[in-house]
């Protein structure tokens, strides 16, 4: 019986000739990730394991991104614990204020993940790296602690869903619209503990940034992971990032899938997810007149340079609607610098937006853009659960950077193609 891309990676890392859905395996890890919220819990658990060193100081990484620069005393204490642990363990890839970014943007940028890797992270959006042909998935802090100690983790091999992408996206349609369309189609439990495997001729029209966004949101369909077929774009990205030599896995012709979905990219419109679930999607033409108070452009989903370029093109020379707060958050220091050198930040500020240091910030209701009761936001983030960005009585609408930027100008959720 053939194997999927995910199953081949898991088999290799478990030292087995093959694996099948439902099988329990113990697999070697290429990278273990934590952030300033999840790492302190893992550090405390690590101290109970009776080991005095991490398994490999080059294969453990911690990124201070959720509440940094520290928003309060508790956040400062969490980061201090991580900082001290990283120094004690001589962790090679520790990122703090001044050399940090949103974790799922900075790791690909730094070349820390390559095709064929097996990555776990104490953050649900660790599935992002499937865009690069890796198996990556979120775990709890206890699993992170064990991973740091022994470099291994237990997995139940997931069954798979295949998404065959065809056609070329229309103008103004991006990876965010595609993944929202898919989640709207299959639901937030449609891929529960399954691998979402993306393939097809339509991949050629999706940038690596598009793919990173889509893999990031596999978890919003319940997926164990999302993974993209490796092509020339993937390999070029990995080479530019300085990643180690990739190992490319392709699904067998007779690989088993629970379901196969054909997605015609040419038929997808800009798409918006209404509160309070990512599956509650509507094409932009059916949104109606929805007044907003805030726009957030950033996050591990859509804070990359390509996203900022898209938003700046719409905002350039115009003004954010009076009464609307527009917050732009480059995902890493490198992206911030590039955006500054390109003049993007100048355009944002002149349009009446505010530009933040890299941080997760408002995405999880942390800081830099909390909503009050009754307020609505359009955000390029990945979740819109009740209270996700602040008060339980607020609302978050998920959209692409293009829709978000257009909405900032009009004060209503708007189609960027009509501006």
Residue 419 has pLDDT above 90, yes or no: no
CA 120 to chain centre: 14
**Cis before 171 (ω within 30):** no
Among 328, 391, 338, 385, CA closest to 361: 328
Which CATH number belongs to the domain containing residue 414 in this structure?
3.30.499.10
Given 246, 264, 282, the domain boundary residue is 264
For residue 140, the model assigns a pLDDT of 94
Q: Are residues 65 and 206 in the same domain?
A: yes
User: Is the per-residue pLDDT at 1 higher than 80?
Assistant: no
Longest dimension (CA), the chain: 62
Q: To which residue do tokens 């194997």 refer?
A: 3
Strand partners, 378: 295, 397
**What proportion of the chain, given as a percentage, has pLDDT over 70?**
100
Same domain membership, residue 248 and residue 336: no
Using one digit for the tens of pLDDT, what is the confidence trace for 403-418?
Answer: 999 999 999 999 999 8
Both 99 and 118 in a single domain?
A: yes
| Domain boundary pick from 264, 285, 309 | 264
Asked whether residue 81 carries a pLDDT value surpassing 80, the answer given is yes
Angstrom distance (rounded) from CA 292 to CA 297: 14
Rounded to 5 degrees, what angle do the CA atoms 154, 186, 311 make? 95
Three-state DSSP class for residue 211: helix
Angle between the N-to-C axes of helices 344-351 and 333-341, in degrees from 0 to 180, rounded to the nearest 10: 80
Considering the domain architecture, whether residues 257 and 276 belong to the same structural domain is answered as no
What is the model's pTM? 0.94
366-394 pLDDT, tens per residue? 899 999 999 999 999 999 999 999 999 99
* Residues 103, 108: Cα–Cα separation, whole Å: 9
Verify that 253 and 287 share a domain, yes or no. no
Query: What domain count does the chain have?
Result: 2
Instruction: Tokens for 139, please give them.
Output: 């775990």
Q: Which residues contact 55 (CB under 8 A, 6 or more apart)?
A: 147, 148, 149, 150, 151
Domain that holds residue 404: 271-418
DSSP assignment of 384-399: --TTTTB-TT-EEEE-
216, 240, 264: which is the final residue of a domain?
Answer: 264
Q: Is the pLDDT of residue 359 over 90?
A: yes
Question: Is 24 a residue whose pLDDT tops 80?
Answer: yes
Phi-psi region for residue 249, left (φ > 0), alpha (ψ -120 to 50) or beta?
Answer: beta
Residues 116, 256 within the same domain = yes
The DSSP result for 116-176, as a single string, is: T-EEEESSGGGGGGGGGT-EEEE--HHHHHHHHHHSEEEEEPPPEEEEEEES-PPTT--HH
Q: Which residues pair with residue 255 across a beta bridge?
A: 2
209 and 61 together in one domain? yes
Nearest to 311 by CA among 285, 348, 343, 363: 348
Q: Is the dihedral of CA 114, 117, 121, 125 positive or negative?
A: positive
What the block records as the tokens of 285 is 């033409």
The CA distance from 381 to 299, in Å, is 6
Please measure the distance between the N-terminal and C-terminal CA atoms of the chain and give it in whole angstroms.
52
pLDDT tens, residue by residue, 229-242: 999 999 999 999 99
Bridge pairing between strands 325-328 and 281-283: unpaired
The pLDDT of residue 100: 87
Are 51 and 27 in a shared domain?
Answer: yes
What are 121-167's pLDDT values in tens digits?
999 999 999 999 999 999 999 999 999 999 999 999 999 999 999 99
Answer yes or no: do 83 and 194 share one domain.
Answer: yes
pLDDT for position 13: 98
Give the burial class of 365: count Cβ atoms within 10 A of its Cβ; 0-12 exposed, 13-18 middle, 19 or more buried.
middle
- Decide if pLDDT at 91 tops 80: yes
Q: Measured between alpha carbons, how far is 314 from 417 in angstroms, rounded to an integer?
A: 10
Say whether both 279 and 384 belong to one domain. Answer: yes
Residues 185 and 200 in one domain: yes
Q: Are residues 216 and 355 in the same domain?
A: no
From residue 260, alpha-carbon distances to 21, 165, 304 in Å are 16, 11, 30
Q: Find the radius of gyration of the CA atoms of the chain.
A: 20
Residue 184 has pLDDT above 90, yes or no: yes
Mean pLDDT of 169-188: 96
């Amino acid at each position: 019986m053939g194997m999927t891309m995910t199953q081949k990676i898991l088999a290799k890392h478990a030292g087995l000739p093959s694996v099948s859905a439902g099988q329990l395996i113990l697999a070697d890890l290429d990278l273990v990730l934590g952030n300033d919220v999840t790492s302190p819990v893992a550090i405390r658990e690590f101290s109970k394991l009776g080991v005095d060193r991490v398994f490999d100081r080059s294969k453990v990484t911690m990124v201070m991104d959720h509440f940094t620069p520290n928003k309060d005393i508790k956040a400062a204490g969490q980061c201090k614990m991580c900082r001290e642990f990283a120094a004690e363990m001589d962790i090679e890839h520790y990122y703090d204020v001044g050399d940090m970014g949103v974790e799922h943007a900075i790791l690909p940028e730094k070349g820390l993940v390559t095709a064929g890797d097996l990555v776990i992270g104490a953050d649900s959006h660790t599935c992002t790296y499937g865009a690069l042909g890796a198996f990556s998935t979120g775990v709890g802090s206890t699993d992170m602690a064990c991973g740091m100690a022994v470099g291994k983790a237990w997995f139940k091999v997931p069954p798979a869903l295949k998404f065959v992408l065809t056609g070329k996206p229309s103008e103004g349609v991006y990876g965010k619209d595609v993944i929202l369309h898919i989640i709207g189609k299959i639901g937030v439990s449609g891929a529960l503990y399954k691998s979402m495997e993306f393939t097809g001729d339509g991949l050629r029209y999706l940038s690596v940034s598009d793919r990173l966004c889509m893999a990031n949101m596999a978890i919003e369909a319940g997926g164990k992971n999302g993974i993209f077929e490796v092509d020339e774009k993937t390999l070029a990205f990995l080479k530019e990032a300085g990643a180690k030599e990739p190992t490319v896995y392709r699904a067998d012709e007779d690989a088993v899938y629970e379901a196969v979905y054909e997605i015609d990219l040419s038929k997808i419109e800009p798409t918006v997810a209404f509160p309070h679930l990512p599956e509650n999607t509507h094409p932009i033409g059916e949104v109606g007149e929805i007044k907003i108070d805030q726009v957030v452009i950033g996050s591990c989903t859509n804070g990359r340079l390509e996203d900022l370029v898209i938003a700046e093109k719409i905002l350039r020379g115009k003004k954010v609607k009076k009464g609307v707060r527009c917050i732009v958050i480059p995902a890493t220091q490198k992206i911030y610098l590039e955006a500054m050198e390109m003049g993007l930040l100048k355009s944002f500020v002149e349009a009446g937006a505010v530009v933040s240091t890299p941080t997760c910030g408002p995405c999880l209701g942390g800081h830099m853009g909390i909503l009050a009761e009754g307020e609505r936001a359009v955000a390029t983030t990945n979740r819109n659960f009740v209270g996700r960005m602040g008060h339980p009585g607020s609302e978050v609408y998920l959209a692409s950077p293009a829709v978000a930027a257009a909405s900032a100008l009009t004060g209503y959720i708007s189609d960027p193609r009509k501006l």
